[in-house]
């Protein structure tokens, strides 16, 4: 089992300014003993992928409320893969219809958490997923 803290990048891709959810999740993951890098609003996919590389995170958490997730999320995944960061656990949250979530999960995304998700559930999921993965 790993002894060093899980490192998570929490990012807001796209143009919406609703970062309350991202901040609540960031604080909850911190309280679970994770190191959370928060990048602020209005990130492009390229900025998110580069920040993930520089911070060498285990997890990238994306929060989105603008409806552009089917454009932005796959692009972020593509850039992470191109950076050699394909083993990063990608999770997301916000307003994401179920059929979109299923499609993203089929593309290699981890779980996508909709409204009403409990922060415990998100932290549990991340811990369990990373326990299953080989150490980097």
Partner 1 sequence: MDSAALIPAFRAGDRRALSRLLTYAERGDDAFPALYDELAPGRGHAMRLGITGPPGAGKSTFVSALVTARRAAGERVAVLAIDPTSPFTGGALLGDRIRMQEHVLDAGVFVRSMATRGSLGGLSRASLEASDLLDVFGFPHVVIETVGVGQVEHDIIEAADLVTVVLSPGAGDGVQALKAGLMEIADVFVINKADLPGADQVAIDLREMLALRSQRHGDEIPVVRCSSIDGQGTNEAIDAIDRRWRTLQHDGRLAARRHERSVAQVRRLVEQALRERLFGSDEDLEQSLSSSDLARPYAACDMLLDRFDAQTSHSRVSPTPKRNEPR
Residue 39 as a binder of partner 1 (CB under 8 A): the answer is: yes
Residue 91 as a binder of partner 1 (CB under 8 A): the answer is: no
Residue 46 as a binder of partner 1 (CB under 8 A): the answer is: yes
Please count the residues of this chain forming the interface with partner 1, following the rule CB under 8 A: 31
Considering only the stretches 33-41, 69-77, 88-96, 103-111, report the one whose residues sit in contact with partner 1 under the rule CB under 8 A.
33-41
Minimum gap (Å) between residue 28 Cβ and partner 1:
9
Considering only the stretches 45-53, 90-98, 105-113, 125-133, report the one whose residues sit in contact with partner 1 under the rule CB under 8 A.
45-53
**Dihedral over alpha carbons 110, 111, 112, 116 (to 10 degrees):** -160
Report the C-alpha gap between 71 and 104 in whole angstroms. 11
Residue 43 as a binder of partner 1 (CB under 8 A): the answer is: yes
Residue 29 as a binder of partner 1 (CB under 8 A): the answer is: yes
Tally Cβ neighbours within 10 Å of residue 86. Answer: 12
Binding test (CB under 8 A) with partner 1, winner from 24, 53, 95, 130 = 53
């Amino acid at each position: 089992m790993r002894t060093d803290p899980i490192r998570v990048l929490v990012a807001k891709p796209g143009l919406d300014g609703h970062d309350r959810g991202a901040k609540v999740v960031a604080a909850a993951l911190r309280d679970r003993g994770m190191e959370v890098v928060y990048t602020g609003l209005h990130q492009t996919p390229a900025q998110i992928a580069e920040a993930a590389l520089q911070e060498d995170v285990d997890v990238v958490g994306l929060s989105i409320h603008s409806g552009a997730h089917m454009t932005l999320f796959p692009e972020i995944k593509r850039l992470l893969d191109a950076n050699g960061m394909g083993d990063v656990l990608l999770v997301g949250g916000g307003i994401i219809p179920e059929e979109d979530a299923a499609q993203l999960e089929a593309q290699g995304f981890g779980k996508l958490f909709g409204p009403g998700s409990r922060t415990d559930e998100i932290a549990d999921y991340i811990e369990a997923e990373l326990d299953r993965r080989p150490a980097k």
